Amino acid sequence: MSEENKALDESEERWRKAKEYIKDNKEKYEEDLNYQYPPQYYSFPTGYTLTGIEIGFVDLVLFLVKLAIASIPAGLIMLFVYGILVFMAGMIGLGAMLTF
């Protein structure tokens, strides 16, 4: 038997087993399909005040270092946008000066 036929037979066998499993567990699948989800609203308790956060010094330093590294791309993008705005404002001003 060639490798291709063997793989085909194994595939057919897996499909047959999957169909039998689904047939044997049909009630369970129907129960899962008819599941009624709870309502999607949230009720938050009121009257609580956060008074402090317990965090270790090393964990806080590591968090702030990660925050600083993550803010570098955002700063570069803002610098690029600022450069474009200044360039356009400069060209408007230069155009106004050259019209006289």
Question: Do 90 and 63 belong to one domain?
Answer: yes
pLDDT level of residue 98 (50, 70, 90 thresholds):
low
Domain that holds residue 4: 1-39
| 78-92: pLDDT as tens digits | 999 999 988 888 888
Residue 78 counted as domain residue: yes
Q: Calculate the alpha carbon distances from 49 to 17, 43, 54, 55, 68 in Å.
A: 57, 17, 15, 18, 29
- Domains identified in the chain, total number: 2
Query: pLDDT value at position 77?
Result: 96
Question: Do 56 and 100 belong to one domain?
Answer: yes
